[in-house]
Chain A
Amino acid sequence: MLKIKDLHANVDGHEILKGINLEIKKGETHAIMGPNGSGKSTLGNVLVGNPNYEVTQGSVEYLGKNLLELDPEARSCEGLFLSFQYPVEIPGVSMTKFMRAALNQHRTYKGLEPLSASDFLKLVKEKREMVKLDSKLLSRSVNEGFSGGEKKRNEIFQMAVLEPTLAIMDETDSGLDIDALRIVADGVNQLSSPERSQIIITHYQRLLDYIKPDFVHVLLGGRIVKSGGPELALELESRGYDWIKQEGGK
């Protein structure tokens, strides 16, 4: 599904990603862990085409296409989704209007008719209940006045509506209490299927108690320095990252 080869990327002229290699197959869940500043969020942003990040080298193939050539909106319509670490507030644009515009652009991209108002509302209700998002939030402006937890739940709600093929969760667990974490994880798990894949970017093992990864990668200094199974996450939880640093990133 996704093949990243020797990916280098800059932010404000500083090289953050220094040669990422990663392959994700259909139905797999990968966790990417690592300390602050190791490049985890950069990887997520580069994949969805954030213009503040400049790819300087390498290639990304997604569903057989050159991902780096696509606009952010085309990447989304192709089924790529980033749950943002810091969701953006958009004053004056209601959640309903925003989601309807997004969903209908996805449908147009796929050659489908836009959803009628009543079908849209039905869909929204179903997905909203899935992540237990208060209906009042949907008439408000996007993320405006949402609590930290509501913002994260809103990301998962958007994901549930758009049903991505590859979802990237960028620190979706940060700032969540244990109940909210469970709700978010339940939402993510309900969406997983043999046809869909996930990348979970996280600091902690915590979220991985609820969402079981098939593979765990450690990102350090802009490179993946260690990969393993779920047991690697547990080891990181108990031993921290220093031992990997000492191993010299083999």
Chain B
Amino acid sequence: MNMKVEQQYITLFKESRDLLDNNSAPVMNKYRQEAFDNFERLGFPSKKVEEYKYTPVSKYFEQEYGLNLSRLDIPSKPRDLFSCDVPGMDSIQAFLVNDLFHQEAVKGLPKGVLLGSLKELAETHPELVEKYYAKIANHSKDAIVSFNTAFAQDGLLLYVPKNTIIEQPIQLINLLRSDVDLMSNRRILIVLEEGAQAKVLICNHTIDQVNFIQTGVTEVFVGANAQLDFYELEETHTQTVRFNNLTVHQQADSNVLLNNMTLHNGVTRNSTEVVLKGKGAHIDCHGMAVEDQNQHVDNTTLIDHTVAHCTSNELFKYVLDDHSVGAFTGMILVRPDAQQTNSQQTNRALCVTRDAKMYARPQLEIYADDVRCGHGATVGQLDETALFYMQARGISEREARLLLMFAFVNEVIDTISIDALKERLHTLVEQRFRGEVQKCSECSICK
């Protein structure tokens, strides 16, 4: 294997091992070497690796980025930089600057809930983090996960004890902020014990006009009867590259809603793996991408039905303008024991121009005989008869197109369970389609 691109990171790791360890927690350091060995063995995935067929990896790691391994405080006051809350959404806010948890007391949490720096909580609650950290994100198989596990030093931990309900949504604002080209390796761990409930929204933004690359690994444990709504919203600039791996394990009768929305970006690959481990678990796995210019969004999902009586519903929509590229690979795996599975997968894409490209790969692997699995994938243009009908009522072609595009992605937005966020998304998407500056109205840096 030609490891030219990898070599600089191999050298970096070997030279900076102490720096990495000294600025992280023992629980995280424990997996570093093993993950690094895996990365050295795997190398960055080439196009021959099935899951990475549509998103080249190594070319984005070729260029040199700074890494903040000694955890220097990058001067920033997130609250001043970013007052971009969702209007009307009464949320508990926390900030990550790159992969560093911003130290600020988080208020309004029920008793027993932990929300804060993964590194620090791994030091103060080692048994808890030990139990979950690097347990489900597979660093022996996926090179991005091994890379992240080798280099990650901090991130966020959310722990919700048994039967605890957090009413307010938790909004984690991840700002990418740097004066030089920067790489960050973010780590998030979310644990909901039995019967717990939480809503989490992660907003990803870029602050500076430099090149950013971020790997992200998010591990989510959802206990029996627990309920999690997990939204990830990306509004980054076109010089941003993000490789995101999310793994969710669900116990019996748990209910999870995932929604991954890319409103503006450079290159993004979201890998989502959901393992339904307990009977009666339900997952709604949704996503959308609005792209133009040369933007690239790849959503690769695996819904793994391991036991009987679980249900899954997938809905992904793309609107592709200019030369943008969309990819969707959706695998539904129904294992021999997963009888009475009910599973639906839908992927629809609108190519607004002839130059936009969509790759859609729905995949079903079914080893049980009493299941209901449906899937549909379409790539198309706007409905010409609907366009004409609107024009015949006086609506300009441009406006009619906007209304149809808006209607198209609304199906995904309307599944959002937080009303204020839903409203905000309606506005943001409309502004996006109208080509208005893709920034939030209250944001100080945009003014």
What is A's interface to B at a CB cutoff of 8 Å? 48-51, 71-73, 75-77, 82, 84, 87-93, 97-98, 101-103, 105-106, 109, 141-142, 158, 162
Minimum CB–CB distance from A194 to chain B (whole Å) comes to 24
Q: Which residues of B contact A75 (CB under 8 A)?
A: 392
Nearest first, the 4 A-B pairs at minimum CB distance are A92-B407, A76-B394, A88-B389, A72-B391
Contact with A along B380-421 (1 / 0, CB 8 A): 000111101111111111010001101110110000000000
Minimum CB–CB distance from B333 to chain A (whole Å) comes to 31
Q: Known contacts being A87-B389, A101-B403, is A77 close to B394, with CB within 8 Å?
A: yes
Q: Are A101 and B391 in contact (CB under 8 A)?
A: no
Q: Are A162 and B393 in contact (CB under 8 A)?
A: yes
Residue of B nearest to A78 (CB): B394
Residue of B nearest to A102 (CB): B393
| Most chain A CB neighbours (cut-off 10 Å) among B385, B388, B406 | B388
| Most chain A CB neighbours (cut-off 10 Å) among B384, B399, B403, B411 | B403
Q: Which residues of A contact B391 (CB under 8 A)?
A: 49, 71-73, 76
Q: Which residues of B contact A84 (CB under 8 A)?
A: 389, 392
Q: Which residues of A contact B396 (CB under 8 A)?
A: 73, 105
CA distance A73 to B394 in the complex (A): 4
CA distance A105 to B390 in the complex (A): 11
Q: Which residues of A contact B407 (CB under 8 A)?
A: 90-93, 141
Q: Which residues of A contact B410 (CB under 8 A)?
A: 92
Q: Which residues of A contact B404 (CB under 8 A)?
A: 90, 92-93
Q: Are B388 and A105 in contact (CB under 8 A)?
A: no
Q: Are B397 and A71 in contact (CB under 8 A)?
A: yes
| Most chain B CB neighbours (cut-off 10 Å) among A71, A84, A88 | A88
CA distance A91 to B388 in the complex (A): 15
Partner of A162, one of B390, B394, B406: B394
Q: Are A158 and B411 in contact (CB under 8 A)?
A: no
Q: Known contacts being A48-B392, A50-B388, A98-B390, is A73 close to B397, with CB within 8 Å?
A: yes
Q: Known contacts being A102-B394, A105-B399, is A92 close to B389, with CB within 8 Å?
A: no
Q: Which residues of B contact A82 (CB under 8 A)?
A: 392
Partner of B411, one of A71, A92, A109: A92
Q: Are A93 and B403 in contact (CB under 8 A)?
A: yes
Q: Which residues of B contact A71 (CB under 8 A)?
A: 391, 397
Q: Which residues of A contact B399 (CB under 8 A)?
A: 101, 105
Contact with A along B242-280 (1 / 0, CB 8 A): 000000000000000000000000000000000000000
Residue of A nearest to B386 (CB): A90
CA distance A191 to B383 in the complex (A): 31
Q: Are B408 and A98 in contact (CB under 8 A)?
A: no
Minimum CB–CB distance from A150 to chain B (whole Å) comes to 16
28 A-B pairs, CB-CB below 8 angstroms? A51-B388, A72-B388, A72-B391, A73-B391, A73-B396, A75-B392, A76-B394, A84-B389, A84-B392, A88-B385, A88-B386, A88-B388, A89-B386, A90-B383, A90-B386, A91-B407, A92-B408, A93-B407, A98-B393, A98-B395, A98-B403, A101-B395, A102-B394, A105-B396, A105-B399, A106-B394, A142-B389, A162-B393
